[in-house]
Amino acid sequence: MKTLVIYYSKTGNTKAVAEEIAQELGADTEEIREAGRRHGYVRSAFDAIFKRMPDIRAMTHSLSDYDLVIVGTPVWGQGPVPPIQVFLSSADLQGKPVALFCTMGGVGDRRTFAKMEGLLTGSRIVARLSFDQQKAKSPETVAERVKVWTRELLDRLPDQRNRGTQASSGVAE
């Protein structure tokens, strides 16, 4: 199954998780980048809270080339970052299986996933994974949780390897 991991990262936490997922699945990665320069943390938080949406750069990968898309975001203001919201609002993921992950300072994963799912009309959400800041900063913890999560993810998709696992540790549903 050809897989693309799409993410936005300001501090590197979300990027580290995205790269671990991509490595585990043999997937391609695509970093969502803003067309302009991202301001500091306070301005970024206000942009998220007040729903100020930036322009984003064109992607280098074509979504139509992939069977599975995984989207990751940090949590800002208990929601996905504005660049990911812009991507999700404009991406054609109709009928595709989509998995979601987020990194956060403390709370907000459920609201973030709900907002992301609301922007993904017509796609099938197959898995969710969240990391708080402490766990996201530990490479060992990231590797361990991603390994379990990717196995569970593949088990939920038809005709994939590693069939049979029904556990859900690390998956926020």
Say if 21 falls within a structural domain.
yes
Cα 99 from Cα 150, distance rounded (Å): 10
Compute φ and ψ for 171, nearest 5 degrees.
-105, 120
> How confident is the model at residue 158, as a pLDDT?
78
Nearest to 103 by CA among 145, 75, 76: 75
Say if 163 falls within a structural domain.
no
Say if 56 falls within a structural domain.
yes
Q: Which domain holds residue 52?
A: 3-155
Task: Tell me the pTM.
Answer: 0.83
CB neighbours of residue 61 within 10 Å: 13
Question: Which residues have C-beta within 8 Å of that of residue 157, sequence separation ≥ 6?
Answer: 1, 68, 97, 126
Say if 164 falls within a structural domain.
no
> How confident is the model at residue 87, as a pLDDT?
95
- Tally the domains of the chain: 1
> How confident is the model at residue 118, as a pLDDT?
95
Question: Which residues have C-beta within 8 Å of that of residue 24, sequence separation ≥ 6?
Answer: 146, 147, 150
> How confident is the model at residue 49, as a pLDDT?
64
Q: What is the CATH number of the domain that holds 92?
A: 3.40.50.360
Residues of the chain with pLDDT under 50: 161-173
> How confident is the model at residue 170, as a pLDDT?
45
| b/e sequence 91-121, b meaning 16+ C-beta within 10 Å | bebeebbbbbbbbbeeebbeebbebbeebbe
Polymer length of the chain: 173
> How confident is the model at residue 122, as a pLDDT?
86
Say if 170 falls within a structural domain.
no
Say if 165 falls within a structural domain.
no
Say if 43 falls within a structural domain.
yes
> How confident is the model at residue 168, as a pLDDT?
35
For Cα atoms 130, 79, 32, give the angle at the middle one, nearest 5 degrees.
80
> How confident is the model at residue 163, as a pLDDT?
36
> How confident is the model at residue 17, as a pLDDT?
96
